Amino acid sequence: MRAVALLLVGMAVMAEGSKQKLLQEELEDAVLTNTGSKIATSKLYRTGEPVGDFPQPSDPRMNLKSPKKWQATFATNVGSFNVIVHRDWSPKGADRFYSLVMNDFYDGARFFRYADNFVVQWGLKGTPQIDSLYENGANIMDDPQFKSNTKGRITFATSGPNTRSTQVFVNLADNTFLDSQGFTPFGELASEDDLNIFMRKINAEYGEKANQNKIIHEGNQLYLNSHFPHMSYIKSEKVQVLEE
């Protein structure tokens, strides 16, 4: 009996040790929130999980603190492109974009607006249950203007002061007139090759015809796939930290 008891104690100790090791590994592979707490990356939302599990705007998983400098790589149906994000350009904007990318928000998103020599815009997921969460009450405050909307820079779309949410655009030209309107870049395409994806490969045939309200309420399946079947889209996204 004594031997059995010792064996059970030993097994309990081993189990506790394994549990502590897993917890330590989770904490090491974690991201910071804006409150200074840590969230294991395994707790973030991943494409394929139930739509109802996508984090609400107030969820700590959607309030992550961006690294100082990082690269977002987007694989699309027409090739991949890289965005370099600089947190000091637009801290709140960088934090929101980081939170969206880390939770796979842009997977499946269409490039629904192509304005020649102006911008390419995306940032509606095309899943009504998720897009409706961020339509109202999910806006972030504006950041001071540090950088200009020059060609290749990426900026949140707005509908007025303090209305940044999930939609972003890449400048196809030097749109410096946007600077005085509160459009604050938070990053830039990493190279000419990345810009080439926007200038030459993303499908421009639909221009600005897509209706944003219909995208939000009907999504990719009911609206975009049937009316704009050749619209380019994001397949996956990933993050590489360049500077903590």
Three-state helix/strand/coil letters over the chain = CHHHHHHHHHHHHHHHHHHHHHHHHHHHCEEEECCCCEEEHHHCCCCCCCHHHCCCCCCHHHCECCCCEEEEEEEEECEEEEEEEECCCCHHHHHHHHHHHHCCCCCCCECCEEECCCEEEECCCCCHHHHHHHCCCCCECCCCCCCCCCCCEEEECCCCCCCECCCEEEECCCCHHHHHHCCCEEEEECCHHHHHHHHHHCCCCCCCCCCHHHHHHHHHHHHHHHHCCCCCEEEEEEEEEEEC
Task: Quick: pLDDT tens for 156-210.
Answer: 999 999 999 999 999 999 999 999 999 999 999 999 999 999 999 999 999 999 9
Instruction: Name which of 213, 231, 238, 106 is nearest 166 in CA terms.
Output: 106
- At residue 4, the pLDDT reads 53
- At residue 159, the pLDDT reads 93
- Count: domains in the chain: 1
| CB-based contacts of 13, cutoff 8 Å, min separation 6 | none
Mean pLDDT of the chain: 92
pLDDT-derived band at 45, boundaries 50, 70, 90: very high
pLDDT-derived band at 51, boundaries 50, 70, 90: very high
Task: Quick: pLDDT tens for 162-172.
Answer: 999 999 999 99
Which domain, by its residues, includes 124? 4-243
Q: Do the beta carbons of residue 128 and residue 218 sit within 8 Å?
A: yes
With 60 as the cut, is the pLDDT of residue 214 above it?
yes
Lowest mean pLDDT among 44-48, 117-121, 135-139: 135-139
Q: Do the beta carbons of residue 113 and residue 121 sit within 8 Å?
A: yes
Q: Model-level pTM greater than 0.75?
A: yes
With 70 as the cut, is the pLDDT of residue 102 above it?
yes
With 60 as the cut, is the pLDDT of residue 92 above it?
yes
Lowest mean pLDDT among 34-38, 134-138, 213-217: 134-138
pLDDT-derived band at 137, boundaries 50, 70, 90: confident
Per cent of the chain over pLDDT 70 is 89
CATH of the domain at 204: 2.40.100.10
- At residue 26, the pLDDT reads 40
Q: What is the mean pLDDT of residues 78-95?
A: 98
pLDDT-derived band at 18, boundaries 50, 70, 90: very low
With 80 as the cut, is the pLDDT of residue 12 above it?
no
